[in-house]
């Protein structure tokens, strides 16, 4: 099918499957591997679009399901799409609304036609079909649109997993047919198949025949065993085309990002950095700092030494602690800025180390810092996953 992107590999790690590339989209280039912050309803909670741009963010997410409810298609049509509506000059990726099948399942009824939702706002029924998802995403104007897929929890097993996989393939065909702007918007397929290796292989085989501009690994990060998670990710990156971007959906913890980059993934998204910020948790290269703790009441250093975000340059841990403990929205704002800066800096450091072909050594240094130099704290699954691509964390 037609593509409105180019994907050029710049460097490859000589040990792992990691790579650095430039993904050029209608609203500019994106350096990969990339973490994409999630602005579900057209807003990054507590952060202005200008601030996100200042942090160096090149692409963010919106959610089709939520924007379809509010402000709705008519409003977005009138304003000319979500970029204009939220004053965002860079790239957008829209989730199709499929994930809400899992997260809002009590509100959803799934049939071959599509997914019927009860609106969380007023209880009114809304049918999200592949055609409607494409219509909404074409109106939103996202640079990357996700197909509507039949999403099930990663903990589901049995015939429902295979049913969802084949339905996702059929729905992809309907999405391709309904997509009206392939010259300016890219449709990505989503690989399903649960934790079943044979179903994943079959799904990749079928999706690749459709030749979409990129591919996502879906249906993970739902509470499955991490040793199963990484094997599914690695299987998919082995089988998917090497000349197209690979996106692992819903991944945002620092150690997960590092492992998945080593396994060959290019794109990630997660609400985690901004969600955890609302609880006063700051992400740093030395682990998570809980700014609610009383020990920061008289700590006049920055959240993280060496961080050049506006929070760390201008405010102390003591001040942020006060804002967080008094539940002032300024606290949420300041920690959100820092956490997004951390995620983007983490990705930049990985890209730089891959370009210098020093990624394995960087991984070891990252784990040493992040887990306080204590190898016994390294999650066993990360040791196993990295060992599979030639990096021994315990040496």
* Residues assigned a catalytic role: 95, 269
DSSP state of 300: -
| Burial (0-12, 13-18, 19+ Cβ within 10 Å), 79 | middle
Rg of the chain in Å (alpha carbons): 21
User: d(Cα 41, Cα 63) in Å, to the nearest integer?
Assistant: 6
Distance CA 116, CA 106 (A): 11
CA angle 192, 2, 98 (to 5 degrees): 30
**Dist. CA 92–CA 185, nearest whole Å:** 10
Helix axes 254-262, 226-239, angle to 10 degrees: 40
Buried b (16+ CB within 10 A) or exposed e, 92-123: bbbbbbbbbbeeeeebbebeeebbebeeeeee
């Amino acid at each position: 099918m037609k593509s409105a992107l180019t994907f050029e590999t710049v460097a490859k790690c000589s040990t792992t499957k990691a790579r650095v590339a430039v993904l050029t989209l209608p609203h500019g280039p994106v350096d990969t591997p990339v973490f994409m912050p999630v602005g579900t309803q057209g807003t990054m909670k507590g952060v202005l679009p200008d601030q996100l741009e200042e942090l160096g963010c090149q692409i963010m997410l919106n959610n089709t399901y939520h924007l379809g409810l509010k402000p709705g298609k008519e409003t977005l049509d009138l304003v000319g799409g979500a970029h204009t509506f939220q004053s965002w000059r860079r790239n957008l990726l829209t989730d199709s609304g499929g994930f809400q099948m899992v997260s809002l399942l009590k509100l959803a009824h799934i049939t071959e036609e599509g997914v019927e939702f009860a609106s969380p706002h007023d209880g009114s029924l809304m049918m999200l079909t592949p055609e409607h998802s494409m219509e909404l995403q074409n109106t939103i104007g996202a640079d990357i649109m996700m197909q509507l897929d039949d999403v099930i929890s990663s903990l589901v097993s049995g015939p429902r997993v295979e049913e969802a996989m084949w339905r996702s393939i059929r729905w992809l065909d309907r999405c391709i047919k309904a997509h009206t702007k392939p010259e300016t918007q890219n449709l990505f397929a989503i690989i399903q198949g649960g934790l079943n290796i044979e179903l994943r292989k079959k799904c990749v085989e079928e999706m690749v025949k459709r030749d979409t501009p990129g591919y996502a690994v879906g249906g993970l990060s739902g509470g499955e065993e991490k040793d199963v998670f990484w094997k599914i990710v690695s299987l998919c990156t082995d089988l998917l085309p090497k000349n197209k971007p690979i996106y692992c959906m819903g991944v945002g913890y620092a150690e997960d990002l590092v492992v998945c980059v080593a396994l060959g993934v290019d794109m990630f998204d997660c609400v985690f950095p901004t969600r955890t910020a609302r609880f006063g948790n700051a992400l740093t290269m030395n682990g998570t700092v809980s700014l609610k703790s009383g020990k920061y009441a008289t700590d006049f250093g920055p959240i993280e030494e060496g961080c050049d975000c506006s929070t760390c340059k201008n405010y102390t841990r003591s001040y942020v602690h006060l804002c967080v403990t008094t539940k002032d929205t300024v606290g949420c704002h300041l920690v959100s800025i820092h956490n997004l800066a951390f995620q983007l800096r983490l990705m930049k450091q990985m890209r730089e180390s891959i370009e210098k072909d020093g990624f394995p050594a960087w991984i070891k240094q990252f784990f040493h810092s992040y887990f306080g130099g204590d190898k016994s704290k390294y999650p066993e699954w990360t040791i196993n996953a990295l060992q599979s691509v030639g990096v021994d964390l315990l040496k």
